[in-house]
Structure formats: structure tokens, C-alpha cells
A and B are shown apart, each in its own frame.
Chain A
Amino acid sequence: MPELAETKQPIQVSKPKKISSNLEYIKRNYILYLLIAPAIILTIIFKYIPIYGALIAFKDYSPIRGIMGSEWVGFKHFTDFLTSPNFLQILVSTIKLSSFELLIGFPIPIILALMLNQLRKSGVKKNIQLVLYAPHFISVVVISGMVFLFLSPVGPINAILGIFTDKPISFMSDPDYFRSIYIWSGVWQGAGWASIIYVAALANVDPQLHEAATLDGASLLQRIWHIDLPTLKPVMAVLFILAAGGIMGIGFEKAYLLQTSMNIPSSEIIATYVYKQGLLAGDYSFATAVGLFNAVVNVILLVFVNQVVKKLNEGEGLI
């Protein structure tokens, strides 16, 4: 900084020089830039250009007048949402559902991977992995249908419970069960698939470390704790930040599919609310405002989690 303050002359000279050297560099490696160009173009077209549509959150959007032509209304839609009687309930449901999902859903694939890693017979390991991955490929619509069938008052689970009680439990119409159903069916479906990346990371552990540790008399748990987990730590950190980034962006499909008019108190989350207000009721401006609010909360959370992880992970974060 002090160098810049001293004299203007060197900057004016060095700037074009830097640009031209950059250009030189690009020229030399143009093929790499061409390679990445489609990805950048796609990102700009599909991720950045639509951002300007977020303008309608501050307007009274009319499809005929278009985005620019619609009337400005300032923060009206935001105040409407923040003062609506169900605002707090929806926000709390969203945060609860996604944070519980993160807390339960995050460690399970790691445990799975550690267990798979201990299997020495590769044939058995392959088969078990296959069985674990399979549910990942079932569509969420089908999963929800299965959940409804299994948990119906006349379904198999209630038939088993019927041995102990005489009144069936209406799982799908009780808000208390919704989060558990949502999260555990998600774990069943996704944990195997999510463990792949950890299994791959564990495959890179130098076998000599394990041999040395065994010679020194380390038990299985000690080896996992001191060798496997430190190997996984960087992967875990990155994945955790990514998962935390998605905490408010929890997908609407499954919550919407598992929603019944009776479990609304815990199943109505911001994403389903946006869908109902925007696409079903056609109130695009309001829905956009709610979605934008969601995104802002999400960014704040992401930055916060990144800072925390940096502290815990010797200064290594994602951003």
C-alpha cells in the first residue's frame, strides 16, 4: 500500500504491462480458456442473468407489463411476509427440518464409509455397497408414495404395532412425526450414496500407516480415530460447508409430497410456501420476495459456518 501512495508513475507504467503479460499468458494457453468457456457461459446465462428477475420482489409484477415495466412497491412484499401470522412457524419449521437433517444426515455416511473400509473381502464389500446405493436411484415421488403406503393407518407398520396397541398411529397426519419421517427416509435413501466420496478418500490412506500402528499395538478404534478420521477431515470440512450452504435451500419436492393438511405445522417450509404462493396462487412478486429472503438468510448462514469451520480446521475453509 505505501508503495502506491508514493508515486503514481510506476502504476501507470506497470498496469498496461501487467495486462499485456496477462494477455500473453491467455494467448499461450487459449485452449484451456476455450475448454472452460462453455461452463462459464452456461453459468452466466442460467445463474447470473436470471438474478435480474429477482427485481420483481420489489415490484408489483404484471406479466403484460414485463419485469421492467411493472410498478415499484419497495419492501411491501417483505413486510407482508414478515408480518403474516404464520411467518414464524414457517421459518422455524424450515430451520428445524434442515438443521436436524444436517445433524443426523451428515455423520451417518462417514460411519458407513468407515465400516465399509474395514471390510477386507472386496466381493462382499461390492455387494453391500450396491445394496446401499440402490435406493438413491428411486425417484423422490416413488419414495414418498412408499412412505405413505408403509405408514398408512392400515399399512404394514401399523399392522405390526397393532400387536401392542389397539389404536393405529396416523403417522402422516401428525406433525410430531413429520420431521422424523422426512429425515430417516432421507437417510435410508441417501446415506449409501453419500458415503462414496468418503470411501474413495479412505482408499488413499497409506496401508503402511495401518501396519505401523498395528505393530505399535493400536486397537481398531484407535486406528480409525488417529488415521482414518484425520484423512477424512478436509473432505468432511468441505462437505459440511456445502451442506450448511444448502440448509435454507432444502428441496421443496419431498416436503411437498409428504405434506398433508394435518402435518402442516411442521411440514410447511419456506420452499413449499413459495411454491404455493408463486405457482399455485400466481403471486409471483410475493413468492420471489420470500425466496429472496430465504437466499439472504442462507448466505448469512453460509458465511457464518465457513468461519466456524475455518477456526476448527486450521484455517482451511471454502471461501
Chain B
Amino acid sequence: MKKLLKTASVTLLSGALLLTGCSNNAKESFSSKDYELSDVTFPLEEEVTLKIMTSSSPLAPADPNEKLIYQRLEEKTGVHIDWRNYTTDVFGEKRNLAIASGELPDAIFNSAFSDYDLLKHAKDGVIVPVEDMIQFMPNLQMVLDKAPQYKSMMTAPDGHIYAFPWIEELGEGKESIHSLDAFPWINVEWLEKLGLEVPTTTEELKQVLIAFKTQDPNSNGEADEIPMSFIINDGGQNPHSLFGAFGIGDNWDFTVVSNEGEVQLTAADEGYKKAISWLNELYNEGLIDIEAFEHDWNTYLSKGRENRYGLYFTWDKGNITGMGDDYQLLAPLKGPEGYQNVARTNGMGFDRSRLVVTSSNKNLELTAKWIDQLYDPAQSVQNNWGTFGDKTQQNIFEWDESAEMLKHLPLEGTAPVELREKTSVGGPLAILDSYYGNVATMPDDAAWRLQLMKDVMVPHMPNENIYPRVFFSIDELDKLSTIETDLFDYIKRKRAEWIANGGVENEWSDYLAELDRLGFQEWLEIKQSGYERYKENE
């Protein structure tokens, strides 16, 4: 009997251990307790801790508190942040898992929720509306006073505000820095060596690419030149700017708005077919990188660093081949039928969901005031780009004592993206056009890119409007996201397949029928009505 008791107790104990192992993740440990603070002023007399989930680039330190920006912010406010940080590649999954298992932090920083996620989580009570918190936020209020259009962009169709946005003004309208994401960069050094002119038509480009391939422009005796490269279906590295030589052009979400106010799907346009057929011709001639359909950013970058590209696509050549004079922006080409368009990218310096406050948060006022610090002009600028006075690594800014503003330091060959990802923090912030020259200087690379945009691209942009950030209702978003998953995947796959294997001419009518089957017409209706509603409210 004694033996029995002994064995039984061991079994029970192990069972009990298993059970507690499953349940000891009590809710409390993921958000902070109520500090019962009111009329908060910084710095706090006694340091408190907020628990926030966030994401950062793999280049940045794993603990965000190692970033100088956060160290200074903690000193200034007396609020310690207990970060739960994930790298951007796994963040979405981890964030969703945390929500599904009820492990809600106080807030989610760099939340990157889609509009649908926002409305759904609000409906489910995961996140709370934040419009009442704005009364505690003088910095944000000032931004909204200066630029009232953002208030309506933040507001959901049900009248609530569910997230704090990111606002970065760099140029307006067509001259915005977002007007075209993937710039084409051509190797002018090779052109010079071969005695060729910068191509101005699609046919000339083809001849130039053939010369790149066959005449050994890097004179190493090997045919290792890659006449043209891109990363298919990757927004910033996709060759969509070439499509404008054949019709309305193309952009990452296949949506343009004609000057008659009509929403169009670029991938259902005749010109799209012709552009693909032309790219297939180039591919068959061996002028396109055979890895263009598979390689990732790192491979793309390493080939670029070796200067093997004749023509390639990216946001800023500084990030791939450096800021030297060997590559130059290729102006829009004229196609066989005389088109010379640039389809504008549906991007703007506005991201609706950069920080959400969860329903577990018990310190709304404190949280609001802490977030408000991020909207302070000088803080916003640093959060967005990087900071000054860091003795351990390269700085993006220096603090100009006399002018009391932040001045960009020369990059000295460092890729701007890399330096920013290491030192900046992102999140909710606002940089208005009026800040440049007062709070900080405009980044050199942005100023340079804006100038290129204005000189080279803007003259060929026929459309007065882009498709704006319409905030759809949850039912519309439900339908849109269901349709877009299938529809866009199909379009992207067909695009890559046709460029590599041909067949666009024969399969075009089947393709259009398949688009309809996947819900193209319904998608167009929702997009069109959303656009009209937006214009009315404007």
C-alpha cells in the first residue's frame, strides 16, 4: 500500500506539473498594472514600466533599449519600456499569435495592421479607440491643426480612430517622393565604353541590352554581364516602370485612376499584354537575369555590388550600386505606339496603423502622453531617420547648436537604408514639409530623389490622382481581401510565367475570363465606390 501511495503521488505530481506548465502564463504578465497616475507630467518622479510589443530590422539590436533614441526618451520621461521585440520577417505571425492567445501587451508599436485587421480587432475588443486620448497629446494636436487632412485619414468609417499614424511629407502631389517606387537605373559607364547613347525608345533599349550582353562592356573577357535585372513582383524592384511605354503602365497594386475618375486595373489593359510580350522577347534573347524570378534581396544586392547589371530597378541606387556616377536614372521610354507614360505608385507618406493601444492597457493617460512624445518634431525626425551623438557608431545627424536643429551628416558611402534601420525606431510620428530647415535638414538622398522625380518622371505622369488611402468598411474590406488574395496572386504568377515562358498572346482571353471568375468586377465596383466616397469627403 505504501508503494502504491508513493507511485500514485509521483504520477499526480507529474500531472500537476504538466497542468501548471500550461496555465502559468497568466494575463497580467503581458501588460502592466494600473499605476493610478493622473495629470501626468514628464519626467515622472518614480520610474514606471510599460510593456510594448514591437518589430525591428534584423540589422538593429535585438533589445530596442540599446538604441540611443530610447535611452534618451527613457531619461526624458521616466517611463521604462519593457519591449517584446521581433524581427520584421516573423513579426506578423508572432503578433497574431499573441493576440489569439490573449497575451496582450499595453500597446503594439509598429503594429502594421491592415485596415481590415484594425476594424476586426476593434470589433473583437482587442484594441481600443484612441480619439479620447488625443486630448492628452499636445504635439499630435499641433500636427493635426497644421495639417487637418490627416485627421479624416485616420478616422474609420464608424467615426472612431483606432491607431496612431506615421506621417512623412516629402513633396506633394505628383512631385511626392512616392510617385514612383522602382526607379530604373542604367549603367552609363558601359554605355560610354561601347559608344552608345542613353536609349529613349523600347527598341533602342533592346539594342543597348544586346550590346551589353555581347560586347563585354566590363572588359574582363567573360560574358558575366547581366543586361537587365529585377526582382519580379517585389514592389520596389519590379520592372513596372517599363510598362508605361505600351499603355497606362503598371504599379505594385495594379490600380490607377484615370483623369475621368475611373478606377482601372492595370493588369487587364491591352498595353500590359504588349509590355509582357516585349519583356518575353528580351528574356528569350537572354537579356534578362535568369534569376530574376527567384532571387531575394541579398542575392540581388550582391550582384549589384559587383557591378554586373546593365539596367536594374530599385528605389535608390545608393542602396545597391552606390552613389557613384556609373549608374543614371533611365527616363521613361517611348514605345512602338508612342506611349511614354509613368503610372504613379499608390503610395504616400501616410501609414494608418503604426501604434495601437490594446484593451489590456490600464494606464491610458500615461500611454497617451508617452506616445505624444513621439510626435514632438525633433523626436519624430530622429525616430524616422536616426539620431545624433552616438559615440559607438555612425550618426545620421549632428546637432547644430547655433541653429538649434538637426543637420544630416554626409553618408560617406554607407547605404542610407542600412544606417537608418540600425539606429531609427519608426513607429508613430509626423514630419511635415514645414519642418525642413526648421527642425532638421531634408535628407540628401531624399532631396536628390525628389529632384530626379520632378525632372525626369513627373513630365510623363498623365494621371492627376492616385488611388488614395480609402478607409473601407469592414464588410467591404472582407470582400476586398478575399478577392485580392486570389486575384493578385494569379496576376503576379501569370506575369512572371509569361515573361519567362511566353504565351501571353494566346492565353490573354482565358486570362481575362479567369480574372472575372476570381472576382475582378466586384473588386472594381468596391474600389470605384470607395474612391467616389473619398472624393466627396475631401
- What residues of chain A have their CB less than 8 Å away from a CB belonging to chain B? 30-31, 34, 37-38, 41-42, 45, 62-66, 84-86, 148, 152-154, 168, 170, 172-173, 260-262, 264-265, 279-282, 284
Contacts and interface: CB of A to CB of B under 8 A. Distances in A.
Given A85-B517, A282-B117, A261 B99 contact: no
Interface string B73-116: 00000000000000000001100110111100000000000000
Contacts of A264: 489, 493
Interface string B4-35: 10011001001100110010000000000000
13 contacts: A38-B15, A64-B102, A64-B126, A152-B291, A153-B290, A154-B290, A170-B293, A170-B294, A173-B500, A261-B492, A280-B92, A282-B99, A282-B100
Interface of B is mostly: helix
B125 A64 contact: yes
Nearest first, the 9 closest Cβ-Cβ pairs linking A and B are: A62-B124, A282-B96, A153-B290, A64-B125, A173-B293, A63-B100, A85-B518, A34-B7, A279-B93
Given A45-B18, A173-B496, A280-B92, A260 B518 contact: no
Given A34-B8, A280-B96, A62 B125 contact: yes
Nearest to B514: A85
Interface string B114-143: 000100000111100000000000000000
A63 B291 contact: no
B100 A284 contact: yes
A174 to B, nearest CB: 8
Given A64-B126, A260-B293, A279-B96, 20 more contacts: A30-B4, A62-B124, A62-B125, A63-B100, A63-B126, A64-B102, A64-B359, A84-B486, A85-B486, A148-B294, A168-B290, A173-B294, A261-B233, A261-B492, A262-B497, A264-B493, A279-B93, A280-B93, A280-B96, A282-B99
Contacts of A152: 291, 294
Contact of B14 (A31, A38, A153, A168): A38
B519 interface: yes
Interface of B: 4, 7-8, 11, 14-15, 18-19, 22, 92-93, 96-97, 99-102, 117, 123-126, 233, 290-291, 293-294, 359, 482, 486, 489, 492-493, 496-497, 500, 517-519
B294 A172 contact: yes
Given A62-B125, A282-B96, A38 B493 contact: no
Nearest to A168: B290
A154 B293 CA distance: 12
B474 to A, nearest CB: 12
Contacts of B93: 279-280
Contacts of B18: 41-42, 45
B294 A41 contact: no
A110 to B, nearest CB: 36
A37 B492 CA distance: 54
B125 A65 contact: yes
